[in-house]
């Protein structure tokens, strides 16, 4: 931990740059990368004590590693969490938490607006192991309360959601969870701790895909679970040691460096996305724009209480007479771009453009998509850090030539 009488407690940007800076005997100023699978002990007795957990010291990189440990400490500091456990991906983080805190016969309530693989994890994979899941509306708190059962152990939310940018009331969900002896988990990928700190609103756990804004430059896959120190040590660590959902030290190092610029990037992404959302809203061919930073967003007030800014992700719907025309128009706008990357990824300096109904949400049935409000005329944009004038020009090429 950073300490010092003159800066107590350090601000988020100081922590992002300096927390858990590992220094070797060489005194390097940039984080060292400890790319090693195992660690050498001075003698057999020390090895035995370290394996038994009676003495501090690294043993094997499936359990922990100095670079991975720096990543964990820095992310924990940014989230205001007591602890953090790194995982090889965002999905591995959710699986690790589920394996460590749930058992067969337990019940989970999950928002239907969460990341597609999260829906499959709870709805399909964990169901095979006897964990039941109920999916409810992202924004209707009464549905969450009504779905509670005596065996409910976890409420899982992601806010804002993808691609509709629906916002959950974290404090209200935490009250519902705690009143029923359950825990609230919040997937904080879209905001990152630079914009939103779910633990401060009462969440018990925060999930991260380090792949997104923590890295911020689209280079590696990484994940993490942040929460209280005791359950991380007593429940998550033993599972992690056994099953090995571990993060590569190299990937940890990349994301550790990415975190240094997190809040300047998130501020720039958010400013660009707000400007872009306002510009899109003024286009006559666009029916609706979804962005939490817009006053027209249904949960704008709640979003601005929970989040410092709107974040990078927005979506918009093109006007069209029917679904077939809507899809053709969306494809036209996407295909006319020359700067935006046509990809389902986000969390990058590069702006990405996506047609959710045929990609990220393509595996849903049409009526599920209808229920989720994801039509054929919807386009998702994760606004990057290019010049905004160039991005508008790139989109205008398609928007202004719709037939
Ligand atoms: C990408 C993503 C995940 C999964 O993360 P991976 O690192 O790809 O496993 C989970 N939740 C959200 C909101 C995401 O965007």
The pLDDT, as a whole number, for residue 141 is: 96
The pLDDT, as a whole number, for residue 23 is: 78
Q: What is the pLDDT of residues 83-111, one digit of tens each?
A: 999 999 999 999 999 999 999 999 999 99
Kindly report the backbone phi and psi dihedral angles of residue 316, in degrees, each rounded to the nearest multiple of 5, phi listed first. -145, 155
The pLDDT, as a whole number, for residue 2 is: 63
Q: Are strands 152-158 and 205-209 parallel, antiparallel or unpaired?
A: unpaired
Residues 6+ apart with CB under 8 A from 243: 96, 99
The pLDDT, as a whole number, for residue 7 is: 58
What separation in Å is there between the alpha carbon of 209 and the centre of ligand 1? 5
Beta bridge partners of 206: 186, 226
Q: Ligand 1 in contact with 187 (CB < 6 A)?
A: yes
- Which atom of ligand 1 sits closest to the CA of residue 210? 7
Q: Ligand 1 in contact with 89 (CB < 6 A)?
A: yes
Q: Tell me the pTM.
A: 0.95
All domains of the chain, ordered by start, with CATH?
12-259 (3.40.640.10), 262-399 (3.90.1150.10)
Q: Splitting the chain (403 residues) into consecutive groups of 10 residues, what average pLDDT does each group show?
A: 66 93 86 95 96 92 95 97 98 98 98 90 96 95 98 98 95 98 98 98 98 97 98 97 97 97 98 98 97 97 97 97 96 98 95 95 80 90 98 98 89
In the chain, what's the furthest Cα-to-Cα distance? 77
The pLDDT, as a whole number, for residue 6 is: 61
Q: Ligand 1 in contact with 186 (CB < 6 A)?
A: no
SS3 at position 230: helix
Residues 6+ apart with CB under 8 A from 46: 55, 57
What separation in Å is there between the alpha carbon of 243 and the centre of ligand 1? 20
Q: Ligand 1 in contact with 20 (CB < 6 A)?
A: no
Name the token pair of 24.
Answer: 């070797």
Contact criterion met (CB below 8 Å) for 383 and 276: yes
Q: What is the pLDDT of residues 12-30, one digit of tens each?
A: 999 999 999 877 889 899 9
CA–CA dist 300, 333 (Å, integer): 27
Q: Is 258 exposed, middle or buried (0-12, 13-18, 19+ CB in 10 A)?
A: buried
The pLDDT, as a whole number, for residue 291 is: 98
């Amino acid at each position: 931990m950073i300490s010092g009488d003159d800066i107590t407690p350090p601000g988020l940007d100081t922590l992002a740059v300096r927390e858990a800076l590992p220094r070797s005997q060489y005194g390097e100023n940039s984080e060292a990368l400890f790319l090693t699978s195992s660690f050498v002990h001075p003698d057999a007795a020390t090895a035995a004590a370290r394996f038994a957990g009676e003495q501090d010291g690294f043993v094997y990189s499936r359990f922990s590693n100095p670079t991975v440990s720096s990543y964990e400490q820095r992310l924990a500091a940014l989230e205001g969490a007591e602890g953090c456990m790194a995982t090889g991906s965002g999905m591995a983080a959710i699986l690790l938490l589920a394996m460590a805190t749930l058992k067969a016969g337990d019940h989970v309530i999950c928002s239907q607006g969460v990341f597609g693989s999260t829906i499959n994890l709870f709805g399909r994979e964990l169901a095979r192991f006897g964990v039941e899941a109920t999916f409810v509306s992202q924004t209707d708190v009464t549905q969450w309360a009504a779905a509670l059962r005596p065996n409910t152990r976890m409420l899982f939310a992601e806010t804002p959601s993808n691609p509709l940018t629906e916002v959950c009331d974290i404090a209200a969900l935490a009250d519902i969870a705690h009143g029923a002896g359950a825990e609230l988990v919040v997937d904080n990928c879209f905001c990152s701790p630079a914009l939103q700190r779910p633990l401060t609103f009462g969440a018990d756990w925060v999930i991260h895909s380090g792949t997104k804004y923590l890295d911020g430059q689209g280079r590696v896959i990484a994940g993490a679970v942040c929460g209280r120190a005791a359950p991380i040590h007593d429940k998550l660590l033993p599972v992690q040691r056994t099953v090995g959902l571990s993060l590569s030290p190299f990937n940890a190092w990349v994301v550790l460096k990415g975190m240094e610029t997190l809040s300047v990037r998130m501020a720039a992404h958010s400013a660009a996305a707000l400007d872009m959302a306002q510009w899109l809203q003024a286009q006559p061919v666009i029916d609706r724009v979804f962005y939490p930073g817009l006053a027209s967003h249904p949960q704008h007030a709640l979003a601005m209480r929970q989040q410092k800014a709107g974040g990078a992700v927005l979506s918009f719907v093109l006007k069209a007479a029917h679904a077939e025309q809507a899809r053709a128009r969306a494809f036209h706008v996407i295909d006319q771009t020359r700067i935006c990357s046509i990809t389902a990824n986000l969390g990058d300096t590069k702006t990405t453009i996506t047609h959710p109904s045929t990609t990220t949400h393509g595996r849903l049935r049409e009526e599920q998509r209808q229920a989720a409000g994801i039509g054929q005329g919807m386009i998702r944009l994760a606004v990057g850090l290019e010049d905004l004038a160039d991005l508008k020009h790139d989109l205008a090429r398609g928007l202004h030539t719709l037939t």
